[in-house]
Amino acid sequence: MSPLPAPLDAEQQAARTWFESLRDRICAEFEAIEREAGSDARFEYVAWDRVDPSGGPGGGGVRGVMKGRVFEKVGVNVSTVAGTFEGEFGRTIHGAGDDPRFFATGISLVAHMANPHVPAVHMNTRFLVTTKRWFGGGADLNPPLPIEEDTADFHHTLRAACDRHDPEHYPRFKKWADEYFYIPHRGVHRGVGGIFYDHLEGDFDANFAFTRDVGEAFLNAYPRIVRRRMHTPFTDADLATQRAWRGRYAEFNLVYDRGTLFGLKTGGNIDAILMSLPPVATWD
């Protein structure tokens, strides 16, 4: 791991280890899907280091990207960073208003698919430490051509994960996703939703268990949906719809996404931050 300002405590290390292990299993499953499609595409990994604004070590991460026959472009990133928020940005972060020191570790994933009948997807879970400690993240499905069976499957799997912890989680976090993944200047949602949560603090063990279940739910649901649709025939009109929809996706990530802003404001790797952008998009 890239150097950090201080040794990790037990909670920080447990979260970091889990996110990296989830990355390994997700990438292995996505590569297996490529093998099933007759492709030998694999993830290429690039490590990066972060320098804190103080000039000291700030941690870093690993960016993984695969471009294949099924996954036109998929990025799976893990990072573990720490240091001091610079300027006024820290005052916008939960628990950092009076003390700009922070620690963050997490996984972030975005997949753009070759077949427009296979939905794109986003998943991110993270653990942050300021003067408070909390988990956040979620997953949302982004089909250019929505199919009700896939939407229902994705939501059902996330609901089951939520219900194992608190029956109020799913309706609350689904509503949060619907409100967050919305493009105000277009008046449309980014996709068909999922769940989004943040500032989940208090009982570390309970919140960590929930965050792990979110990761497991994603790994359960999404590959199943990909396999269901990846051989569906598509037309030039379908591709045109996909590329126009990708333009909306790019607009959200560049204008409204908090994760993009956090990465840019904390000196993250630019290519890792912007791996969420689609390989091909159109605007009329």
Q: Which residues contact residue 258 at a Cβ distance below 8 angstroms, ignoring those fewer than 6 apart?
A: none
Based on its alpha-carbon atoms, the radius of gyration of the chain, rounded to whole angstroms, reads 18
Distance CA 28, CA 49 (A): 24
Neighbours of 57 (CB within 10 A): 18
Positions of E strands within 120-260: 120-129, 133-142, 182-183, 188-189, 193-201
Secondary-structure breakdown of the chain: helix, strand, coil percentages, each rounded to the nearest 5: 45, 25, 30
185 noted as active-site residue: no
Q: Which residues contact residue 109 at a Cβ distance below 8 angstroms, ignoring those fewer than 6 apart?
A: 26, 74, 75, 76, 77, 121, 122, 123, 124
Nearest to 62 by CA among 284, 273, 272, 279: 272
Q: Which of 122, 155, 169, 189 is catalytic?
A: 122
Distance CA 58, CA 46 (A): 17
Read off the amino acid at residue 206. A
Read off the amino acid at residue 147. I
Report the catalytic residues. 122
